Amino acid sequence: MKIPHTVRIAALVLVTTGFYGYVGQMVPQKEVQPPKETTLGGNMSTADMAKVGREIMEGKGLCLTCHSIGKTGALRFPDLAGVGLRAKTRVPGLSDVEYFAQSMYEPTAYVVAGFPPAMPPVNQPPIGLNDQEILCVIAALQTLGGTPTVTLQTKHHYNSGAAAPAPGTPGATQPPLPEKKGTQLRPAVPTPDVVTILQPVVAHQAAARRDGAIAR
């Protein structure tokens, strides 16, 4: 018996669909959730900040997409294990809070040797953490080898409205250059009305024609 062509196509579609459905069930499924928005209260304790900061690092902040904690081998960015202790002496003149803040607001200001200057500022899109969320991340980082000390009222260079950099330093606004002498525009000299200039000439020509006519 000859099987109709349409029946064979339908059977092939069913078999193919069933096969891929079976394979799809064998692949581990991972539900992807949108970034979790955090509500930060002014009376939040430092310990609570550190907990929220760790959630931000794992989620919205994308920190653990490139950083690791306690892993070895090929790393895209520095491992964060013990960073709470290292941050206090990483950059001369910067406390651990100031160093962490600089690392997130201005990550290319200091780059750990052996790693590329590829980290984006976390307070800007696409990450877009606000000042309080960044303080929570700092609290979480302080727990990695140290003791968290920040609060939601902690001020540092990037959230305290610090004065603008001195002229000549990167990011400073250059003062306007003094105006050079001789470049001032002179006021325009009023141009006499052409009609006013030609009126005596026209009158003189008319008088000459009139006198000539009389003489004839």
- Domain assignment present for 125: yes
- Domain assignment present for 128: yes
pTM for the full predicted model: 0.60
Q: Which two tokens stand for residue 74?
A: 């090929």
- Domain assignment present for 170: no
Number of structural domains the chain divides into: 1
Least confidently predicted of 31-35, 56-60, 186-190: 186-190
- Domain assignment present for 138: yes
- Domain assignment present for 180: no
Distance, CA of 104 to CA of 121 (rounded, Å): 6
Q: Pick the closest to residue 154 from 20, 5, 4, 42 (CA basis).
A: 42
What count of residues does the chain have? 216
- Domain assignment present for 202: no
Q: Which two tokens stand for residue 22?
A: 């079976």
How do residues 110-157 score in pLDDT, each as one tens digit? 999 999 999 999 999 999 999 999 999 999 999 999 999 999 999 999
In the chain, % of residues over pLDDT 90: 51
Distance, CA of 84 to CA of 97 (rounded, Å): 10
Q: Which domain holds residue 50?
A: 46-142
How do residues 77-101 score in pLDDT, each as one tens digit? 999 999 999 999 999 999 999 999 9
Distance, CA of 111 to CA of 213 (rounded, Å): 101
**Residue 130's CATH number:** 1.10.760.10
Q: Which two tokens stand for residue 98?
A: 């100031």
What one-letter code names the amino acid at 10? A
- Domain assignment present for 179: no
- Domain assignment present for 167: no
How do residues 43-52 score in pLDDT, each as one tens digit? 899 999 999 9
Q: Pick the closest to residue 121 from 70, 53, 62 (CA basis).
A: 62
